[in-house]
């Protein structure tokens, strides 16, 4: 028995000495025992000096044990310096086999301080979760690391309590939508989606390249889109179909080959997809972004076919190149035939530009007129126009009004299909780490949202749906422009409150 106690004590002692020793730490950061000391260096005190040659791949760490199982928002910064050799500096969360990155600096120079920052939402799941500076190169480089001013702020449950659902704010006006993607299928994103929105558009999973990536074997990949449709319908949301015919995210096999083959592929694809989702999706974006940019008023006076995006005007227009402008009408005819119960939409961006708007209007008017002349009756072929609404800080809301007036004359429904207002100065897409917005930008952005929704309300006799393209800034396809209603922690931004009460907001921030 005594022997047993002794062995247990030795094992426990071994664990204490080999384990983490947070006793000696700087703001909670510590190294592996025997590999680090706390020193004054280069005019800075309380610097962790790590002898990298001795350490494992976790150079220093910060324990997240107390947050295990809780969703947290981490805000991190530190000054880091490598002595001796340049190389990567990267901070991660150690989270049960996955190592999400907080901050990454590739090939950081030697012998200078690097100020590193990062933000991340994570739910630590590991037995001993931590944030750590990683290395895998010590055997070759013997690097010495210095870490000064390490700082971590952790917010637990930083998410707002339930806000008034946007869908109830606009229940008498139009549907309110957002996108669905893999990230939004669960957790806080899904909660937000279900709370605020009553219609979703799959961000990517119904696009031709995702449904039909390869002709070999002819197999369509339905699993991801099906899972979305089932879950959304089960949760009382409608699903908008997006998209059947586009120049982008379309597999080469559909358009390779002769004109006749391309036409057959186009019809088959539309038929296959509409039949597959029959009864589940009320309206589809049939053709996306067919009209070109930079049209002059003179361009729009003639035949709309001369305004269609082509290999002359754009770097990529495969359907046009193979079939000519008739691919548009062909697609709508095939869609009507495949499922007459579906409302067919033409969808495009940049329609606040009066010339582009006019070209689109001319096209729809012509196609619809000829269709009715030929078929008789009153049912139009193109029954909806989607204005994407990827706007930016230079948006003139009055241009949107002019376009709404113009489109009203078509006698078809209008949807705002992909709304976001990007405040990036560079136009770059960015990634989830660059999510900083000045207060002034947040106010200016919110004003634009307020003005737009005021306008949409005025036109709610023709606008049937307003859908956003992303819930929060970090997950948006344009994250560098922070274009969404929620910030990277899923907190409501000024833009959210602006939409909740446009008049009140514009009154409060009167120019």
Stretch 282-321 residues interacting with ligand XIL (CB under 6 A) = 288
> What does the alpha-carbon distance between residue 358 and residue 364 come to, in Å, rounded to a whole number?
10
Closer residue to ligand XIL in complex, CB, 22/252? 252
Query: Taking the complex as a whole, how short is the minimal distance between the CB of residue 388 and ligand XIL, in angstroms?
Result: 6
Radius of gyration of the chain (CA): 28
Closer residue to ligand XIL in complex, CB, 32/422? 422
Query: Taking the complex as a whole, how short is the minimal distance between the CB of residue 244 and ligand XIL, in angstroms?
Result: 12
Closer residue to ligand XIL in complex, CB, 62/349? 349
Q: Does 472 bind ligand XIL (CB under 6 A)?
A: no
Q: Does 203 bind ligand XIL (CB under 6 A)?
A: yes
Distance spanning both ends of the chain, measured CA to CA: 82
Which of 58, 205, 413, 418 forms a contact with ligand XIL (CB under 6 A)? 418
CA-CA distances (angstroms) from residue 12 to 9, 24, 35, 138, 251?
Answer: 5, 20, 21, 29, 60
* Number of residues in contact with ligand XIL under rule CB under 6 A: 6
**Distance from chain centroid for Cα 237:** 19
Query: Taking the complex as a whole, how short is the minimal distance between the CB of residue 178 and ligand XIL, in angstroms?
Result: 12
CA-CA distances (angstroms) from residue 372 to 137, 151, 283, 294, 378?
Answer: 71, 68, 20, 31, 6
Spatial strand order of the sheet with 130-134 comes to: 29-31, 58-63, 130-134, 87-94, 101-108
Q: Does 204 bind ligand XIL (CB under 6 A)?
A: yes
CB 227 within 8 A of CB 205: no
Which of 146, 332, 346, 477 forms a contact with ligand XIL (CB under 6 A)? 477
Q: Which residues are catalytic?
A: 289, 348, 418
Q: Which two tokens stand for residue 29?
A: 């950061």
Query: Taking the complex as a whole, how short is the minimal distance between the CB of residue 477 and ligand XIL, in angstroms?
Result: 4
CA-CA distances (angstroms) from residue 505 to 421, 496, 509?
Answer: 17, 10, 6
Q: Which two tokens stand for residue 174?
A: 């139009």
Residue nearest to ligand XIL (CB): 477
Stretch 150-169 residues interacting with ligand XIL (CB under 6 A) = none
Residue 228 CB contacts under 8 Å (≥ 6 apart), including other chains: 180, 185, 200, 202, 205, 239
Q: Nearest 5°: phi and psi at 156? A: -95, 135
Closer residue to ligand XIL in complex, CB, 135/476? 476
Q: Nearest 5°: phi and psi at 417? A: -105, -25
Closer residue to ligand XIL in complex, CB, 71/420? 420
DSSP letter assigned to residue 471: S
Query: Taking the complex as a whole, how short is the minimal distance between the CB of residue 205 and ligand XIL, in angstroms?
Result: 10
Closer residue to ligand XIL in complex, CB, 122/206? 206
Site mask for ligand XIL (CB under 6 A), range 249-288, x = bound: ---------------------------------------x
Closer residue to ligand XIL in complex, CB, 246/505? 246
Query: Taking the complex as a whole, how short is the minimal distance between the CB of residue 445 and ligand XIL, in angstroms?
Result: 19
Query: Taking the complex as a whole, how short is the minimal distance between the CB of residue 476 and ligand XIL, in angstroms?
Result: 8
Interacting residues with ligand XIL (CB under 6 A)? 203-204, 288, 388, 418, 477
């Amino acid at each position: 028995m005594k022997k047993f106690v002794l062995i247990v004590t030795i094992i426990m002692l071994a664990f204490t000495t080999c384990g983490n020793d947070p006793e000696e730490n700087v703001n909670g950061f510590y190294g592996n025992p025997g590999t680090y000391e706390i020193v004054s260096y280069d005019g800075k005190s309380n610097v962790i000096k790590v002898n990298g040659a001795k350490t494992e791949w976790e150079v220093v760490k910060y324990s997240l044990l107390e947050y295990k199982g809780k969703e947290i928002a981490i805000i991190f910064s530190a000054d880091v310096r490598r002595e001796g050799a340049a190389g990567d500096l990267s901070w991660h969360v150690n989270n049960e086999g996955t190592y999400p990155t907080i901050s990454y600096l590739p090939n950081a120079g030697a012998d200078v301080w690097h100020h590193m920052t990062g933000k991340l939402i994570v739910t630590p799941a590991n037995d001993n979760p931590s944030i750590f500076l990683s290395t895998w190169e010590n055997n070759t480089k013997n690097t010495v690391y210095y870490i000064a001013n390490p700082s971590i702020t952790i917010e637990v449950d930083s998410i707002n309590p339930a806000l008034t659902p946007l869908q109830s704010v606009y229940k008498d006006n139009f549907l309110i939508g957002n996108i669905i993607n893999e990230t939004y299928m669960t957790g806080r994103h899904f909660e937000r989606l279900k709370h605020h929105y009553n219609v979703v558009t799959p961000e990517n999973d119904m696009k031709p390249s995702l449904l039909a990536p390869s002709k070999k074997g002819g197999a369509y990949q339905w699993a991801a889109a099906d899972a979305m449709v089932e879950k959304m319908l089960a949760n009382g949301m409608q699903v908008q179909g997006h998209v059947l015919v586009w120049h982008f995210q379309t597999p080469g096999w559909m358009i390779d080959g002769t004109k006749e083959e391309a036409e057959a592929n186009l019809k088959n694809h539309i038929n296959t997809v509409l039949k597959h989702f029959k009864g589940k999706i009320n309206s589809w974006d049939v053709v996306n972004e067919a009209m070109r940019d930079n049209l002059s008023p003179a361009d729009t006076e003639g035949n709309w076919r001369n305004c269609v995006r082509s290999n002359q005007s754009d770097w990529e227009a495969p359907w046009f190149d193979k079939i000519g402008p008739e691919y548009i009408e062909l697609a709508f005819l095939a869609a009507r035939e495949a499922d007459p119960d579906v409302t067919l939409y033409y969808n495009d961006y940049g329609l606040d530009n009066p010339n582009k708007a006019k070209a689109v209007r001319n096209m729809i008017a012509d196609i619809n007129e000829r269709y009715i002349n030929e078929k008789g009756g009153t049912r139009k072929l193109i029954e909806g126009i989607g204005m994407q609404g990827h706007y930016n800080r230079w948006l003139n809301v009055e241009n949107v009004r002019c376009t709404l007036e113009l489109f009203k004359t078509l006698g078809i429904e209008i949807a705002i299909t992909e709304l976001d207002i990007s405040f990036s100065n560079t136009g770059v897409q960015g990634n989830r780490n660059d999510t900083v917005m000045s207060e002034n930008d947040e106010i200016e952005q919110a004003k634009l949202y307020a003005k737009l929704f005021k306008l949409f309300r005025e036109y709610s006799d023709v606008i049937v749906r307003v859908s956003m393209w992303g819930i929060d800034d970090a997950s948006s396809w344009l994250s560098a422009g922070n274009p969404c209603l929620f910030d990277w922690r899923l907190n409501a931004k000024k833009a959210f409150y602006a939409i909740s009460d446009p008049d009140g907001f514009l009154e409060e921030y009167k120019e």
